Structure 1
Amino acid sequence: MKIALVGSYGVGLTMRVPRMPEAGETLSGGAFDAGPGGKGSNQAIAAARLGAEVSFLTAVGDDDYGRAAAALWAAESVDASKVVVTREAATMVGIILVEPSGENRIAIAPGALDELDAAAVETFRAEIAAADILVVSMEIPLPAAAAALRIGAEEGTRTLLNPAPAQPLPEEVWPWIDVLTPNQSEAPVLLGLPADHGHTDEELLALLAARSGGSVVLTRGGEGALLSEGGTVTPVAPVRVERVVDTTGAGDSFTAALAVALAEGQSLAAAAHFAAVAGARTVTIAGVIPALPTRADLADETGAAS
Structure 2
Amino acid sequence: MKLAVVGGYGVGMTMRVPSFPRPGETVSGGNYAEGPGGKGSNQAIGASRLGADVSLLTAVGDDRRATRARELWDREGVGHSHVARTDSPTMVGFILVDDEGENEIALAPGALHDLDESHVESFRGAIRDADILLVSMEVSLNAVSAALRIAKEEGTTSVLNPAPAIPLPDEMWALVDVLTPNQSEAAQILGLQAANDRPVSEIVDQLRERTDAAVVMTLGRSGCAVLDGSGFRTIDPFSPERVADTTGAGDAFNAALAVAIGAGEPLDDAALFANAAGAYAVTKHGVIDALPTRQHIDRVMGR
**What's the TM-score, normalizing by structure 2?**
0.97
Instruction: Structure 1: give runs of 5+ residues left out of the alignment.
Output: none
Matched, 1:146 2:145: yes
CA contact (8 A) 1:63 1:91 kept: yes
Q: Does the residue aligned with 1:245 lie in a helix, a strand or coil? A: coil
Indicate if the aligned counterparts of 2:113 and 2:139 stay in contact, CA closer than 8 A.
yes
Q: 2:183–2:196: 8 Å Cα contact kept in structure 1?
A: no
CA 201–61 in structure 1, closer or farther in 2 if over 3 Å, else same = same
Closer/same/farther in 2, CA of residues 78 and 206 from structure 1, 3 Å limit: same
Matched, 1:53 2:53: yes
CA distance in 2, matches of 1:13, 1:264: 34
Residue 34 of structure 1: aligned partner: 34
Q: Determine the C-alpha separation between the residues in 2 that align with 1:47 and 1:291.
A: 13
Aligned to 1:171: 170
Gaps of 5+ in 2: none
CA apart distance, 1:199: 4.7
Q: Does 1:193 align with 2:192?
A: yes
Residue of structure 1 in register with 2:290 after alignment: 291
1:14 alignment partner, SS class: strand
Measured in 2, the distance between the counterparts of 1:198 and 1:40 equals 29
Any idea what SS the aligned residue of 2:215 has? Answer: strand
**Alpha-carbon separation, structure 2, partners of 1:105 and 1:170:** 26
Asked if 1:245 is matched to 2:244, the reply is yes
| C-alpha contact (below 8 Å) 1:205/1:216 kept by paired residues | no
Structure 2 distance, partners of 1:293, 1:196, is 30
Moved more, 14-23 or 33-42: 14-23
SS in 1 for 2:234: strand
Q: Percent of aligned positions with the same letter in both sequences? A: 56
Q: Is the 8 A contact 1:161 1:180 kept in 2?
A: yes
Secondary structure at the aligned position of 2:138 is classed as coil
Q: How far is 1:196 from its partner?
A: 6.5
CA distance in 2, matches of 1:144, 1:13: 26
CA RMSD of aligned residues (A): 1.3
> Could you tell me how far apart the structure 2 residues matched to 1:198 and 1:104 are?
19
Q: Give the deviation of 1:197 after TM superposition.
A: 9.1
**TM-score between the two structures when normalised by the length of structure 1:** 0.96
**SS, match of residue 185 in structure 1:** helix
Pair 72,3 (structure 1): closer, same or farther in 2 beyond 3 Å: same
In the TM superposition, 1:148-297 aligns within 5 A as 148-195=147-194, 199-297=198-296
Deviation >3 Å, runs of 4+: 196-199
Question: Which AA in structure 1 matches 2:294?
Answer: R
Q: Aligned letter for 1:121?
A: V
**Residues 150 and 33 (structure 1), Cα distance of their counterparts in 2 relative to 1, 3 Å cut:** same
C-alpha separation between the residues in 1 aligned to 2:144 and 2:268? 26
Note the alpha carbon deviations across 1:244-268, whole angstroms, 9 max, x for none. Answer: 0000010000000000000010010
Partner of 2:22: 22
Task: Report the alpha carbon displacement of residue 18 of structure 1 after superposing the two structures with TM.
Answer: 1.2
Are the aligned partners of 1:205 and 1:218 in contact in 2 as well (CA < 8 Å)?
no
Shift of the 197–22 alpha-carbon distance from structure 1 to 2, 3 Å rule, reads: closer
**Structure 1 position 26, deviation (Å):** 2.4
Report what 1:75 is aligned to: 75
**Native 8 Å contact 2:184 2:195 kept in 1:** no
Letter in 1 for 2:3: I
Please tell me whether the aligned partners of residues 209 and 216 of structure 1 are also in contact (alpha carbons under 8 angstroms): no
Deviation of 1:22 after TM superposition, in Å, equals 2.4
